[in-house]
């Protein structure tokens, strides 16, 4: 019996896609420049079906690419032509909201925002809030260790997950963590967060819920040059102020976001900072005064404080709409994700601006300034192969600059296939070998998302000669499993 027939033995017809036209919607994730049609797409509804799919793939040595909502931006859910794309979109139930213990138990296909919506009647919410939170799924958030505009104060996904239940690549069931803050043994739960589908297929997540703050206000500060805005970010942190969110947008990002959703941004500013303070009413008032003084000291040309909840949400709506708003100036954008020390903001942003002028592609910068997590949006036309190649070149230069100044190649989007070459610069052979040993401990047959996140030592040895081009993946190690 061949592989597809073995799957058809237990999967309903609508849960097994074999025809090319039916599989095409799954050919890429949010990094849409690279595409591949998978051998099969499986859309199970039950845990038993997931386990049987995994066991069948193991029996036939067919690699598995787990997929959530497909909003990832590094190619982590890019299918393999000879592989099974395992969609967990139908696992979208909130299993429990426990207000007494301030936690929620959810399936991996639950949307990020849906958790806060379900917890709201209890005065609670889930803190990590990626810009795609209206669509992205919590399973994908765990796989990528997603952040969001409030990660500066409340942490990334790893800081808000209490427990995970998952299948290993042979179908074994594994439970890590639980419903408490601590559990005995090695912290394997932290290993799963950010593992990009390499270690297991996540089936259930227990997350922390937080009480909604009594008060939250946003300061919008405009600057006439981006260096001053970068210095103000460092000044706020040095003053001992911990904002719930501290975001920066440059002139181009301001303009496209304002044109798109009319958030009330000053379009003549070179940069704006959005600084949110939350907590008790008196506490927030005091912190607003302190932060305002810092922003004035660093030369803010205009400072506004949100007058009410509607204006606070409108300020954030512009920030979260910046990515799709790039569509107003180009058909496509290439979103990078690197993290740098805050002190290097001005230097790195100046270099990005210089590369934009040198290579002739517009670049909008919108990012988590408080923790130095950059998101340059390189505007280009995917129908022009040269523009795609140029966007990739600029993206690689930005990531390599992040490493040069003491940062890292990713803050929250993951490595996927996009940043494999730069991982060769970030880590030495000893570290990479250890990553592969960890992968082998969970997945000895290398069936789960092979060729992603951690480059082979062979690839690193030939870094420079091997590079993704033209929407294809010609690298031999991406074809092995």
- For the segment 165-206, what is each residue's pLDDT rounded down to a tens digit? 999 999 999 999 999 877 788 899 999 999 999 999 999 999
Q: What's the pLDDT at 229?
A: 94
- As beta bridge partners, residue 472 has 469
Closest to 410 measured CA to CA, from 421, 399, 424, 401: 399
Mean pLDDT lowest among 155-164, 293-302, 367-376, 471-480: 471-480
Measured CA to CA, the distance from residue 398 to residue 208 in angstroms comes to 34
Residue 467 has pLDDT above 70, yes or no: no
C-beta of residue 366 within 8 angstroms of C-beta of residue 250? yes
Q: What's the pLDDT at 96?
A: 98
What 3-state DSSP class applies to 386? helix
C-beta of residue 174 within 8 angstroms of C-beta of residue 425? no
Q: What's the pLDDT at 387?
A: 96
**Contacts of residue 343, Cβ cutoff 8 Å, sequence gap at least 6:** 234
pLDDT-derived band at 346, boundaries 50, 70, 90: confident
Q: Which helix (H) or strand (E) holds 21?
A: helix 20-23
List, for residues 53-99, the tens digit of each pLDDT value.
999 999 999 999 999 999 999 999 999 999 999 999 999 999 999 99
Q: What is the mean pLDDT of the chain?
A: 93
Measured CA to CA, the distance from residue 175 to residue 166 in angstroms comes to 7
Residue 208 has pLDDT above 60, yes or no: yes
pLDDT-derived band at 477, boundaries 50, 70, 90: very low
What 3-state DSSP class applies to 161? strand
Q: At which residue do the structure tokens 């949110």 appear?
A: 276
What is the average pLDDT across 447-466? 87
Q: Tell me the H-state helices in 340-428.
A: 345-359, 385-404, 420-426
Residue 466 has pLDDT above 70, yes or no: no
Q: What's the pLDDT at 126?
A: 98
Residue 471 has pLDDT above 60, yes or no: no
Measured CA to CA, the distance from residue 387 to residue 467 in angstroms comes to 16
Q: Where are the beta strands (DSSP E) in 140-208?
A: 161-167, 173-177, 201-208
DSSP state of 14: G
Closest to 91 measured CA to CA, from 114, 116, 124: 114
pLDDT-derived band at 462, boundaries 50, 70, 90: confident
Q: What's the pLDDT at 146?
A: 96
Q: What's the pLDDT at 52?
A: 98
Residue 468 has pLDDT above 50, yes or no: no
CA angle 88, 93, 96 (to 5 degrees): 135
Q: What's the pLDDT at 33?
A: 81
- Give the domains, in start order, of the chain with CATH numbers: 3-87 (3.30.43.10), 94-211 (3.30.465.10), 215-323 (3.30.70.3450), 330-481 (3.30.70.2740)
Q: What's the pLDDT at 185?
A: 84
Closest to 274 measured CA to CA, from 286, 263, 283: 263
pLDDT-derived band at 342, boundaries 50, 70, 90: confident
C-beta of residue 155 within 8 angstroms of C-beta of residue 127? yes
Closest to 340 measured CA to CA, from 233, 195, 192, 460: 233
pLDDT-derived band at 271, boundaries 50, 70, 90: very high
174: tokens are 């594994």
334-363 in b/e burial notation, b at 16+ Cβ within 10 A? bbbbbbbebebbbebbebbbebbeebebbb
422: tokens are 């730069």
Q: What's the pLDDT at 34?
A: 86
- As beta bridge partners, residue 335 has 377
Measured CA to CA, the distance from residue 145 to residue 268 in angstroms comes to 35
DSSP state of 107: -
What 3-state DSSP class applies to 174? strand
Closest to 234 measured CA to CA, from 246, 224, 252, 217: 246
pLDDT-derived band at 42, boundaries 50, 70, 90: very high
CA 189 distance to own-chain centroid: 18
Measured CA to CA, the distance from residue 333 to residue 32 in angstroms comes to 9
List, for residues 385-436, the tens digit of each pLDDT value.
999 999 999 999 999 999 999 999 999 999 999 999 999 999 999 999 999 9
CA 247 distance to own-chain centroid: 16
Q: Is 464 exposed, middle or buried (0-12, 13-18, 19+ CB in 10 A)?
A: exposed
**What percent of the chain clears pLDDT 70, i.e. is strictly above it?**
96
Q: At which residue do the structure tokens 């569509």 appear?
A: 327
C-beta of residue 423 within 8 angstroms of C-beta of residue 455? yes
Measured CA to CA, the distance from residue 382 to residue 404 in angstroms comes to 29
Q: What's the pLDDT at 385?
A: 92
Closest to 278 measured CA to CA, from 70, 469, 129: 129
Residue 476 has pLDDT above 70, yes or no: no
**Best-predicted range by mean pLDDT (27-36, 47-56, 336-345):** 47-56
Q: Which helix (H) or strand (E) holds 93?
A: none
Measured CA to CA, the distance from residue 449 to residue 85 in angstroms comes to 9
Mean pLDDT lowest among 274-278, 375-379, 470-474: 470-474
């Amino acid at each position: 019996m061949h592989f597809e027939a073995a799957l058809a033995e237990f999967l309903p017809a609508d849960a097994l896609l074999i025809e090319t036209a039916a599989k095409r919607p799954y050919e890429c994730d949010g990094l849409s420049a690279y595409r591949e049609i998978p051998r099969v797409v499986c859309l199970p509804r039950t845990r038993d079906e997931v386990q049987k799919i995994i066991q069948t793939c193991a029996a036939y040595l067919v690699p598995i690419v787990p997929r959530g909502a497909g909003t990832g931006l590094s190619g982590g859910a890019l299918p393999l032509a000879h592989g099974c794309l395992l969609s967990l979109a139908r696992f979208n139930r909130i299993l429990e909201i426990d207000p007494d213990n301030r936690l929620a138990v959810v399936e991996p296909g639950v949307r990020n925002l849906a958790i806060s919506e379900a917890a709201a009647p209890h005065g609670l919410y889930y803190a990590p809030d990626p810009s795609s939170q209206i669509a992205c799924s919590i399973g994908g958030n765990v796989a990528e260790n997603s952040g969001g505009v409030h990660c500066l104060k409340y942490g990334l996904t790893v800081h808000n997950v209490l427990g995970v239940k998952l299948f290993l690549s042979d179908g074994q069931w594994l439970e890590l963590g639980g419903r408490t803050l601590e559990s005995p043994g090695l912290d394997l739960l932290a290993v799963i967060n950010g593992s990009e589908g390499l270690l297991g297929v996540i089936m259930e997540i227990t997350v922390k819920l937080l009480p909604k703050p009594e008060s939250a206000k946003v300061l919008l500060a405009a600057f006439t040059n981006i260096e001053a805005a970068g210095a103000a970010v460092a000044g706020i942190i040095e003053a001992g102020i911990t904002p719930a969110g501290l975001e920066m947008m440059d002139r181009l990002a301001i303009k496209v976001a304002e044109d798109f959703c009319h958030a009330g941004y000053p379009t003549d500013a070179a940069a704006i900072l959005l600084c949110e303070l939350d907590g008790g009413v008196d506490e927030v008032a005091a912190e607003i005064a302190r932060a305002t003084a810092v922003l004035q000291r660093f030369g803010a040309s205009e400072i506004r404080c949100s007058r009410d909840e509607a204006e606070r949400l409108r300020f954030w709506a512009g920030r979260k709409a910046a990515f799709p708003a790039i569509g107003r100036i180009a058909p496509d954008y290439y979103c990078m994700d690197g993290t740098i020390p805050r002190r290097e903001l001005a230097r790195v942003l100046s270099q990005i601006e210089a590369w934009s002028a040198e290579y002739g592609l517009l670049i909008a910068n919108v990012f988590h300034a408080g923790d130095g997590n950059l998101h340059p949006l390189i505007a280009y036309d995917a129908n022009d192969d040269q523009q795609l190649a140029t966007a990739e070149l600029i993206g690689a230069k930005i990531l390599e600059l992040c490493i040069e100044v003491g940062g890292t190649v990713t803050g929250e989007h993951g490595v996927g296939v996009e940043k494999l070459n730069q991982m060769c610069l970030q880590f030495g052979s000893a570290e990479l070998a250890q990553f592969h040993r960890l992968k082998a401990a969970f997945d000895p047959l290398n069936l789960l998302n092979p060729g992603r996140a951690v480059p082979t030592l062979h690839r690193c040895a030939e870094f420079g000669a091997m590079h993704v081009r033209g929407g294809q993946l010609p690298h031999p190690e991406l074809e092995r499993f």
